[in-house]
Structure 1
């Protein structure tokens, strides 16, 4: 029996590992293809600017005459031989060479994870690291622009983590600093962690290579180091959002001149001092990869310019462990991965203050990692064994004929709020991404619209036109329906989720998962069955009471199409989410009359979507169906809903972060036996 269980676990581990490697390979191939299929003038634009026929490395004169070359004079010397290569072959070699460097970087970082780590983690760390690197914005930027910013990061990691020889480690880091001067900050890290010879060698190598470039290119070296103060003013404007450094941030908020320089100097000294001190502490704790990462984040923050392709250090901060509870451990990696893989517009709602935070998120994350985030030390008991989550003991529900997969156990603790907000934002971004595309689906959407119209006529439920014109004749009703359509859709579900999060944490997890499944099913419907709503069907005479008259002769229908996909009508999420509210409300309240009253809300929502000519009656039926499917999928994957006792709910309200080992359940590692509800 033991041998069979072990063999099954080994087979499952092999399948998971193979799947992750396949995913990493597909992502890498997709990235390479995305670059190589672009026309020659649109791919590897920075590399073309440097080494092309009219590039700054190809023509006579200074490297910095046009401010297009942002590298050091030594980097110019290194790249000079590439000007003799054919453009097509250089593009292919450069792309696959960068891909190889990213793969090596992923292997180096994954093998440097501080122990102890499980066998499963050791097997999956490398493909996961490569996948994250390929998906990250810095690597995608480096691919598309033809930048070599992966090389300094790889050289530093090799010098600090893999090479045992002090001399060789110093040479690697000095070479990286000659390509990217801010990397010289790793010399103090080496010095204060006892590797003084490597630190001196790094400084000497940097000075020697820079002197070599100065001897070969004296005018360019003077221009770069003195006139531009180590590259300031080269490339894009320093106040652009592409410059994620403290200098760029201060310029963006309007500071200039001596005041900006003084404040920059104060902030840089504080970040360097605190960041290097923390890096040394974590290095002595045995978390050398984290120490190197924090030093890289310091370099990003204090560098005069830190372009997006130079922000790989921020992504590597994902290795830090934050939080004593198991429920909190995902918050930091999810935040880092979101910031470094998702475009800034998808991070925060479109509000001025939040939009500014989102635009500067990589810099803020770098400063937070270097100076503020309390990473768990390896000496802490929570390092290897965080406070576990309480889970409900699996029980059989009323519907014994339904096979339960038990894909995951129902967690009883309140989830981490920041993690929930991040996941909600990711979900909403995906929802918006599917709803936004319109345009090309118009013919199919109108064809599907006629299918719905004919089906409703056959069923004798085609009441939309009559009811829409009835609403138009009652201005007060029309005004209320317009307000309800635009507001209640998000307000009621969010309010109910917030109340459950505070008062019924276990119920919150159950309900929000069902809502997520229902929304996912609806998005699939939007994607595969675009449907023109009644207000956009030509020749039927519907009146759009919410958005006003639309020009059906125009493919764009005015500015409205830029806000939302006009053909995301089947199923109706207005009705779906309102039905979810009614079901959850019925499970929360103890009185039957109030439960019945709660179902008036989806009925009212159905009247609103039909009266405003935004949906058909069958769209409402579709909304109810996807919500039912969402609850059913939740039931199959996790089992019946867990009932909370009054005393337990009160306890969770009093201390949401209380140790799960305290109170009625003494053994935290043992599942809690709970009652089941259908």
Structure 2
């Protein structure tokens, strides 16, 4: 069932990507491809490829290959191109999974491959390079696939272990075809030539020479067919530098783009770029050679590919697929540490930088260069584990009572807050429906005689000190108090931190479901009832576009009240972790104060507060069940422990027999 669910999710993502392109009008889908091959496209019009309002940005060889497509009808080409790109993405995913460092012949490894393929396809479909490829009609996936197939063809052939006579002939053929494939990729994307020294340093010199020969032949063919365009691309623009959008755009995640974004120009920028690019290439190639010899060919290719992204003059979003492949590297001693790098890479390659980094002035540069940072970390910095390491398959257990990895927690909290803001902002916000639900809530409260919002709001509006205190509390404590509690729990009570964080996350998720299913206008946005918006100022409800605040967030996300829910969570945490009377009293008073504040400022109804308490109660119950299940699973003995029983006393015969029965791990042989 889990495998079927993964494949269903991957298929749904693929259909979504195809539908996002095909549902557009023919003159709006595949914008870059249309600019190249449309009625007035640069590949159809006479003259240079690199002139005009929408110049061609690929190599002259790519233009030569694409020219025959100009005779195809746009609509048919759009459909064929979209589904052809889907097949290329699927091929990249399958090839990458088959290159994972486990023998596929092993039954457990085959099961891993079955589960890993749909996961890989899902990650590819969600990644920015693939999403932009579908929208723009780019050819950037093809060079990655050509390099992977050629590189892994060499590695698989060397692993085959055939007899010497077969190996001599087969090795030459494999090297020749691998060189042709990687050379074709270099003709389409010249920075791929960085794989030539990798081939040479790992002893695949015939393939390296084949790559150079294929690149030279393809470039010469394009030069003979289009000499003027070849001169423009290779000489005037220095291998395409300066073509397309400005190189200092945020989408260009190369070292060159980063230097331009910080304001460097002229000879100083050029010299610094050459020095940094040389250092990145030297470091990345040394690491890639080490991982290739260690039996991790996919990681070696990803490290070299990340260097390609960093040192290219322009590395646009659709050229950054190499960074996602670096997710296969294993980093860290503990199980929790292993998740930091994959989570970081997936978030960087799936979200905008602003979603990953808080909106603070000092962190704006990190947000603008997040993919480049990931590429540099993979290429030059992260100490990926070798296969001979005892931590490769047996990392140290974190345990349910241990302190979780701080970087992973920060990433997940930031992503959770971004998801919370996104869902809240995109929940249904039809004004009529929200006001109708507001009338329902007021009617129910009137029947129950608990409609106290109006009286509290009028009292607050005519009492200046009370209004100022309520507004300050509403805008300040909602994030501050839970943040302080989480920090204290993380430092002092890691076991309680895990349980409390899980309960808060589940409660917030339930709250988002409530926002989506039941859009509700708060009292301050109900027309004709006389409520005063003390926190945001007066609103002209007669204006159909009155909600200036709705441009920032969905103002109809009132049921349940997460202000009250989070404050109740704070009270539960304080009561559980301390026995001090003063702190426990403050903990109990805090949700009561918050309930008064949200009612007095006309931001919520009393039933919203009840809803907030309900989602927190449900979140705490679900979190307790989840924590109990996690502790039971982590405390269960592993398979070898079940088979061998408890550890005997050292020095006994049983201890010697146990040592002989325990499996040993041998380092992998160099390819």
What TM-score does the superposition give when structure 1 sets the normalisation length? 0.88
Instruction: Map 1:186-201; keep pairs closer than 5 Å.
Output: 186-201=195-210
Instruction: Note if contact 2:429-2:554 (Cα within 8 Å) is conserved in structure 1.
Output: no
Q: List per-residue Cα deviations over 1:493-520 (Å, max 9, x = no partner).
A: 0100000000000000001101111101
Cα distance, 1:23 vs structure 2: 1.3
Of 351, 355, 360, the match for 1:342: 351
Alignment partners' CA distance in 2, 1:426 and 1:554: 35
In structure 2, runs of 5+ residues without a counterpart are 158-173, 632-671
Of 150, 174, 182, the match for 2:141: 150
In structure 1, runs of 5+ residues without a counterpart are 1-14, 391-410, 643-678
Structure 1 residues 38, 389: closer, same or farther in 2, change over 3 A?
A: same
Instruction: Note if contact 1:438-1:566 (Cα within 8 Å) is conserved in structure 2.
Output: no
Of 95, 103, 113, the match for 2:100: 113
Alignment partners' CA distance in 2, 1:82 and 1:641: 56
1:27 aligned residue: 13
Does residue 604 of the first structure (1) align with residue 590 of the second (2)? no
Instruction: Note if contact 2:499-2:624 (Cα within 8 Å) is conserved in structure 1.
Output: no
1:524 aligned residue: 513
1:646 aligned residue: none
Q: List per-residue Cα deviations over 1:173-231 (Å, max 9, x = no partner).
A: 00100000000100100000110110011011101110111011000000000000000
Of 331, 342, 352, the match for 2:361: 352
1:554 aligned residue: 543
Does residue 138 of the first structure (1) align with residue 124 of the second (2)? no
Of 88, 104, 126, the match for 1:101: 88
The alignment of Structure 1 onto Structure 2 pairs a total of residues equal to 608
Alignment partners' CA distance in 1, 2:189 and 2:341: 28
Q: List per-residue Cα deviations over 1:427-467 (Å, max 9, x = no partner).
A: 11111012213785211100000001111111111111111
Of 497, 510, 513, the match for 2:486: 497
Q: Name the SS of the counterpart of 2:271 in structure 1.
A: helix
Cα distance, 1:640 vs structure 2: 9.4
1:232 aligned residue: 241
Does residue 387 of the first structure (1) align with residue 396 of the second (2)? yes
- Name segments (4+ residues, structure 1) moved above 6 Å: none
Does residue 619 of the first structure (1) align with residue 628 of the second (2)? no
1:318 aligned residue: 327
Alignment partners' CA distance in 1, 2:454 and 2:427: 24
Cα distance, 1:598 vs structure 2: 1.6
Of 366, 371, 377, the match for 2:375: 366
2:182 aligned residue: 173
1:458 aligned residue: 447
Alignment partners' CA distance in 1, 2:63 and 2:44: 11
Cα distance, 1:636 vs structure 2: 3.0
Instruction: Note if contact 1:175-1:206 (Cα within 8 Å) is conserved in structure 2.
Output: yes
Does residue 309 of the first structure (1) align with residue 309 of the second (2)? no
Structure 1 residues 574, 254: closer, same or farther in 2, change over 3 A?
A: same
1:123 aligned residue: 114
Alignment partners' CA distance in 1, 2:226 and 2:498: 63
Structure 1 residues 527, 558: closer, same or farther in 2, change over 3 A?
A: closer
Cα distance, 1:591 vs structure 2: 4.0
Instruction: Map 1:257-276; keep pairs closer than 5 Å.
Output: 257-276=266-285
Instruction: Map 1:377-416; keep pairs closer than 5 Å.
Output: 377-390=386-399, 411-416=400-405
1:630 aligned residue: 619
Structure 1 residues 197, 438: closer, same or farther in 2, change over 3 A?
A: closer
Instruction: Note if contact 2:524-2:531 (Cα within 8 Å) is conserved in structure 1.
Output: yes
Instruction: Map 1:408-427; keep pairs closer than 5 Å.
Output: 411-427=400-416
Structure 1 residues 354, 554: closer, same or farther in 2, change over 3 A?
A: farther
Alignment partners' CA distance in 2, 1:489 and 1:360: 31
Instruction: Note if contact 1:224-1:231 (Cα within 8 Å) is conserved in structure 2.
Output: yes
Instruction: Map 1:11-90; keep pairs closer than 5 Å.
Output: 15-66=1-52, 68-90=55-77
Superposed CA RMSD: 1.5
Alignment partners' CA distance in 1, 2:389 and 2:195: 27
Alignment partners' CA distance in 1, 2:190 and 2:65: 15
